[in-house]
Amino acid sequence: MLTLRLSCTLPIVLVCLTIVAACAPGGPGQTGAAPSAPASGAPSARTLVAAVRVEPESLATRPPQEAGVALYLTKGMFNAELAVLDTHEVAQPNLAESLPQLNTDTWRVFPDGRMQTTYRLKPNLTWHDGAPLTADDFVFAWQTYTLPQLGQARLQPWNAIEDVSAADDRTVVVRWSRPYPDAGSLTGRNRAFPPLPRHLLQEIAQPDQVDALVNSSYWTRDFVGLGPFKLDRWEPGAFIDASAFDGYARGRAKIERIHMLFMSDASTVLANLLGGQVHLSADTSLRLEEAQTLKGEWGPRGLGTVLEHPNQWRATNFQFRPEIVSPRALLDVRVRKALAYAVDKDAINDALYHGSGVTSDFIISPASEWGPAVVREMVKYPFDLRQSDRLMTEAGFTRGPDGTYANPSGGRFTAEIQTNGAADNSAEQSILASGWRQAGFDVQESILPAALAQDGQARASFSSMFTNNTNSGEASLLAFTSRGIPTADNHWTGGNRGGWSNADYDRLAREFDTTLDHDERMAQIGQMAKLFTDDVASISLFFRTQPWAFVSSLSGLEVVGPEASMAWNINAWEFR
C-alpha cells in the first residue's frame, strides 16, 4: 500500500506517482494504486479522478427498483430535474425556467383540495443522445413509474398525482389529487420527478414487459440522461468514464472528463489521495478515521480539503415482521426500550469519532426547521442499565448464572445485529454488541456482504436488528409509514426495511404530507416524533457526516444542508 508523505511539491509528486502507477498491479480496492485506464477513457491532465465506495446499481435518479446505497456524485453527474436544491436547501430552477408559486396561475389550489401546477421548460434542452427533451417525456415518466407492476405508485410524488399532461412541447401540467407541499420544486431524495426518454423506453415500458424494463441496460451501461456529464464507458467492477455535456440546462461543466473508480477499501482511497492518483473521494469511500489522517497530512501543506456533509441518520432498526423476527421478544416494546437504554452512545462517539460525533434521538435534527417541535415531543433513552434491567424484568426476563437474560417460555435471549461491510460500521457494531452482552443480551454480529449492499430484499430480511445510514430529514421520516415497507409485491422498494407499522403515525404522516400550512406541519411532525420514539421503531445513534476529500487543484465544493447534494453544482467545479 502506498503511504508516501508529501514533502515535495505536488506537481513533482504527481509525476513520480504516475510512473509508479504504470507498474502497479491489481485493480481498484485491491492495491494502493489506481488502475491504468484504457485509452478510450484514460485519465488526462483535464480528467478528474474520483473514488466511490460501491459500484452503482443504476445511474438514474429513480431507477425502477430502489438502490440500497445513496450515490450523490453519480446522480449529480448524470441527471437533471425540474429543480435542484442549492447549498442552503433552497430550490432553484434547473430544467424549468422558473418554479410554480403558490396561489398564482402556476400553482392553483381548488376548493376540494386538488391542485394544479405548471412548469415551463427551458428552450432547446436535449438528452445526452441529442434527442430533444419535451414535456411529453414527463408525461411518459409518470405513466411508467405508476405501472402497478413496478410497485412505485404508492411513493411520492406519484401517490399524490392525478394526471400529467403536456400543454405544448415545453409546458408540463400536473394535476394533483390532494395538497402536496413540495409541488413547487418536485425535487429531493425519494421525492423527485425525473423525466424519462420516451424515444428509448416506450417499447418496453408496458404492463406486460415490466421485467424487460427493470432489467434494461438503459439504467446502467446504456444510460442516457440530462445531467452535466454523459456516460462514455462503464467497465464493470472497475470504473466509469464520463465527459462534459454541452447541452446541460445550467451550462456546460468546466471539468472536461471524470474517471470514477470503484474503491471499496478506505485505506486504499486514503493512499491514493495522498499519492495524488485520486483527486476526489465521495459517497462514503473515505471513512472519518481516514479523513482525520488526511486532514493532518494535507492541512499544513495546503494540498487539499476535507469537508464533512452532515446528512446521514445512523440508527439500529428492529425487525417487526412476525414471520422473520427472531427472537420474538423484540416485538415487545419493553425489550426494545431495554436495548435502547443499554446503548452507550458516548463510548461509541469517543471510540470512533474522537468525540466529535453528533448523537441523535430521532430522524430529524434539532437544528432543522422542525427542530423545536421534535425536541419538545421525542422520547430520549440515555445510557441507563438500571432502566434496562427494570424493563427486562417487566417483560419476564431474568439474568441467569452466566449473566444473560432468559425467560421460562422463550429461553435465552439471543439476537443478531447486522450491518454492511464498511470498516467503521463493523467497529461500531462490535461496540454495540459488546455493550449489550455486558448488559445481559446475547447479541451476535453479522455482516451483509458488499455484493448485497444494494439488494432491497436482502436489506429487509435481517432477523433481529440492522444498523445503517439513511438521509436525515422529511423523506426518511415519511419512509417509515406502512406504505414504505419493502415487499415482493413492490419489488422490495421502500425505506421502512424492518416493517414497523403504526396507524397513528401513518395518519399523521398523511396529514403532514397534505398540509400546506407550516405551523400545522410543525405540530404534526412533533407528534410523529413522539410516536416513533415511544415505540422505539429504531434506536437512534448519530447524525453522521460523509467526508468529501479533494485536492487543492479542485474548487467549487462546499458543505450543503442535509437534504441537498454535495454535487448539486458539479457543473461549476473547476479542476486545474
Q: Mean pLDDT for each consecutive 10-residue tract of the chain (576 residues)?
A: 33 34 36 40 71 94 74 95 92 97 96 97 98 98 94 88 98 97 86 96 94 95 98 97 98 97 96 97 90 93 92 92 96 98 94 80 86 95 98 97 92 94 79 97 93 86 93 84 91 90 96 91 96 98 90 95 89 96
Spell out the domain ranges in the chain.
80-218, 310-545
The enclosing H or E element of 538 equals strand 538-551
Answer yes or no: are the C-beta atoms of 188 and 475 closer than 8 Å: yes
Are both 80-218 and 310-545 of the same fold? no
- Give the start-end residues of each E strand in 297-404: 304-318, 358-359, 398-399
The pTM for the full model equals 0.74
Residue 69, pLDDT score: 64
Q: What is the pLDDT of residue 19?
A: 32
Rounded Cα gap, residues 498 and 535, in angstroms: 13
pLDDT at 17: 34
pLDDT at position 34: 46
**Fold for the domain defined by 310-545:** Dipeptide-binding Protein; domain 3 (3.10.105)
Determine the residue type at 183.
A
Q: Measuring CA to CA, which residue among 63, 98, 97 is closest to residue 79?
A: 63
Taking the domain 80-218, which CATH number applies? Answer: 3.90.76.10
What pLDDT sits at residue 475? Answer: 78
pLDDT value for 9: 35
Rounded to 10 degrees, what is the CA torsion of 482, 487, 491, 492?
80
Q: Is 524 helix (H, G, I), strand (E, B) or coil?
A: helix
| C-alpha–C-alpha distance, residues 425 and 284, integer Å | 11
Residue 546's nearest CA partner among 290, 264, 351 is 290
Angle separating helix axes 345-353 and 423-439, nearest 10 degrees: 150
- The rounded distance, in Å, linking the Cα atoms of 142 and 172 is 11
Q: What are the CA-CA distances from residue 122 to residues 38, 64, 99, 119, 463 (Å)?
A: 37, 27, 12, 10, 49
Rg (C-alpha) for the chain, rounded Å, is 24
Q: For 74-100, give one letter per residue: b (16+ CB within 10 A) or e.
A: bbbbbbbbbbbbeeebebbbbbbeebb
Beta bridge partners of 233: 241
Written as nine digits, the cell of 473 is 430529514
Res 32: pLDDT: 37
Distance from C-alpha of 197 to C-alpha of 79, rounded to nearest angstrom? 12
Q: What angle do CA 358, 543, 262 make, to 5 degrees?
A: 125
Q: What is the pLDDT of residue 138?
A: 98
Rounded distance between C-alpha atoms, residue 490 and residue 484, angstroms? 10
